[in-house]
Amino acid sequence: MFQLIPVYSAGLIGDPVAHSVSPAIHDAAFAAAGLADRYALWPTTAAELAGRVAALRAPGMIGANVTIPHKQAVLPLLDEVDPLAAAVGAANTVVRLTDGRLRGLNTDVGGFGRALAAVGYDPTGRRAVLLGAGGAARAVAYGLLWSGASGLVIANRTTQRAKTLLGALLAVVEGEPYLRALAPDDPDMAAELRSAELLVNATSVGLHGDALPIAPALLGSHLLVVDLIYRYTPLLAAAEQRGARTQDGLEMLVQQGVLAWEAWTGLRAPVDAMREAARQALAARR
Ligand code: NDP
> Is 137 close to ligand 1, i.e. is its CB under 6 Å away?
yes
Q: Which atom of ligand 1 is nearest to the CA of 249?
A: 41
CB 13 within 8 A of CB 245: no
From 11-15, 104-108, 119-123, 166-170, the region with the lowest mean pLDDT: 166-170
Rounded Cα distance, 269 and 97, in Å:
18
> Is 130 close to ligand 1, i.e. is its CB under 6 Å away?
no
pLDDT classification of 12: cutoffs 50, 70, 90: very high
Rounded Cα distance, 41 and 286, in Å:
20
Give the ranges where the chain is alpha helix by DSSP (H).
22-32, 49-55, 83-88, 107-118, 135-146, 159-172, 189-195, 234-241, 250-265, 271-285
- What confidence tens digit (pLDDT) does each residue in 50-104 have? 999 999 999 999 999 999 999 999 999 999 999 999 999 999 999 999 999 999 9
CB 68 within 8 A of CB 45: no
Rounded Cα distance, 104 and 94, in Å:
5
pLDDT classification of 2: cutoffs 50, 70, 90: low
Please count the CA atoms within 13 angstroms of the CA of 193 that sit on its side-chain side: 28
Mean pLDDT, rounded, of the chain: 95
pLDDT of residue 165: 95
pLDDT of residue 1: 58
From 5-9, 141-145, 218-222, the region with the lowest mean pLDDT: 5-9
Given a cut of 70, whether residue 209 has pLDDT beyond it is yes
- What confidence tens digit (pLDDT) does each residue in 226-235 have? 999 999 999 9
98 C-alpha to center of ligand 1: Å? 36
pLDDT of residue 171: 86
Give nearest CA residue, ligand 1 atom 43: 136
Q: Which atom of ligand 1 is nearest to the CA of 248?
A: 41
CB 22 within 8 A of CB 257: yes
pLDDT of residue 286: 74
Given a cut of 90, whether residue 247 has pLDDT beyond it is yes
pLDDT classification of 6: cutoffs 50, 70, 90: confident
Q: Which atom of ligand 1 is nearest to the CA of 207?
A: 32
Rounded Cα distance, 90 and 36, in Å:
30
C-alpha torsion 256→258→262→263, nearest 10 = 10
Q: By three-state DSSP, how is residue 148 classified?
A: coil
Q: Is 71 a catalytic residue?
A: yes
CB 125 within 8 A of CB 107: no
CB 103 within 8 A of CB 81: yes
Please count the CA atoms within 13 angstroms of the CA of 228 that sit on its side-chain side: 27
Q: Which atom of ligand 1 is nearest to the CA of 135?
A: 25
pLDDT of residue 285: 83
Amino acid code (one letter) for 58: A
> Is 153 close to ligand 1, i.e. is its CB under 6 Å away?
no
> Is 141 close to ligand 1, i.e. is its CB under 6 Å away?
no
pLDDT of residue 206: 94
Given a cut of 80, whether residue 4 has pLDDT beyond it is no
CB 248 within 8 A of CB 229: yes
pLDDT classification of 203: cutoffs 50, 70, 90: very high
Instruction: Look up residue 5 and give its DSSP letter.
Output: P
- What confidence tens digit (pLDDT) does each residue in 18-45 have? 999 999 999 999 999 999 999 999 999 9
pLDDT of residue 7: 86
Given a cut of 70, whether residue 215 has pLDDT beyond it is yes
> Is 162 close to ligand 1, i.e. is its CB under 6 Å away?
no
Instruction: Look up residue 13 and give its DSSP letter.
Output: E
* Mean pLDDT, rounded, for 251-265: 98
What percent of the chain is predicted at pLDDT more than 90? 93
> Is 190 close to ligand 1, i.e. is its CB under 6 Å away?
no
* Mean pLDDT, rounded, for 243-269: 98
Closest CA to 30 of 260, 280, 269: 269
Q: Which of 93, 116, 161, 203 to mutate to test the pocket of ligand 1 (most atoms within 8 A of CB)?
A: 203
186 C-alpha to center of ligand 1: Å? 19
Catalytic choice (26, 52, 71, 103): 71
> Is 25 close to ligand 1, i.e. is its CB under 6 Å away?
no
pLDDT of residue 173: 87
